[in-house]
Copies of this chain bind each other. A is one copy, B any other.
Amino acid sequence: MTEGADVDAVTRAIAERRQLVNEAIPQQLPIKRPERLYEASRYLLDAGGKRLRPTVLLLTSEALMDVPPLEEDYREFPAPNGTIDMMVAAVSVEIIQSFTLIHDDIMDDDDMRRGVPAVHNEFDLSTAILAGDTLYAKAFENMLETGATAERSVRALSELSTTCTKICEGQSFDIDFETREEVTTDEYLEMVELKTAVLYAAAASIPAILLGKDDAVDALYQYGLNVGRAFQIQDDLLDLTTPSEKLGKQRGSDLVENKQTIITLHARQQGVDVDSLVPEDDVEAVEEETIEQAVATLEEAGSIDFARDLAHDLIEEGKEHLQVLPDNGARDRLADIADFLVEREY
């Protein structure tokens, strides 16, 4: 495996697949009666997104079948017996992601998402709940349309439904942690695994299920799980270490909002009085100097390094699991994506 991401190659690999996924979304989720419902269902999907999970799914498919990247039509992707529509599986995973964002924004009372109003703001609460529910069903409908054998479809559906259950459990823990006095780093990591990582794990392993590459399913699941965990830890780090203008929001906003992260939980375990680090409660009112001082304290406690090392270890472990794949360009890009997720600065 290469050390460090080939940034150009990975950026291009994501951009090329994002374009194809963006074209497939309106085909798989057309606006029809009742229009307002489908417009709300499409709203966040149309607002953008990196399409990382479908990209992982499509790259994994190419790596497994050892075909040159982008040479095969994802709609008629070569399987051991006949072809399957891998794009509907990719869209299915992205639809699940979008459904969770819509409902999470209601629960977290977040007003904005991807630079546009959250669905419950742009439309209304009822429409947002219902748009999420519609996407949920559409994700399953799409995953049933790959044309894979019934046995493989059943296993993919089973993976998708247990993934959804886990995402709900993770979100439940996350909400619970907001009001709990003591949360351990292990509990936090369990929450991250459930809320975030399992969907990456599903994206990476479902191609192996659909293509009948049973020996690769577990390793690819672990790749996705580790990459997904690292992704969330990197998000926690970026909030503290990236300048506000690059981040697109106030640096240290997690500290201002008293959000538990792997960094603050570690610091707490080291005896740092995390609650006093940033006395302000308003992101607008906080001074850059206060944040800098807080970050310095967290650095002294070893909490920043703890998170960085953890993300790095997870990525390395994740990449190890890619050994299950043939040595090819798509596998290199999956390794790049892993590195890229922890090397990115915003």
Contact = CB atoms under 8 A, between A and B. Distances in A.
Nearest to A194: B34
B168 A140 contact: no
A51 interface: no
A171 B130 contact: yes
Nearest to A138: B165
B137 A164 contact: yes
A175 to B, nearest CB: 6
Contact of A36 (B36, B144, B149, B172): B172
Given A125-B107, A151-B150, A176 B36 contact: yes
B137 A165 contact: yes
Interface residues of A, number: 40
Interface string A142-181: 0010000111011001101110110011011101100000
Contacts of A138: 161, 165
A106 interface: yes
A162 B140 CA distance: 9
Contact of A133 (B33, B130, B151, B164): B164
Interface string A275-298: 000000000000000000000000
B154 A103 contact: no
A125 B106 contact: yes
A168 B102 CA distance: 15
A106 to B, nearest CB: 6
Nearest to A131: B168
Contact of A172 (B37, B136, B161): B37
A133 B161 CA distance: 11
Contact of A103 (B129, B140, B162, B176): B129
Contacts of A130: 103, 107, 168, 171-172, 175
Nearest to A169: B34
A141 B165 CA distance: 9
A81 interface: no
A134 interface: yes
Interface in A104-151: 106-107, 125-127, 129-130, 132-134, 136-138, 140-141, 144, 149-151
A79 to B, nearest CB: 16
A156 to B, nearest CB: 10
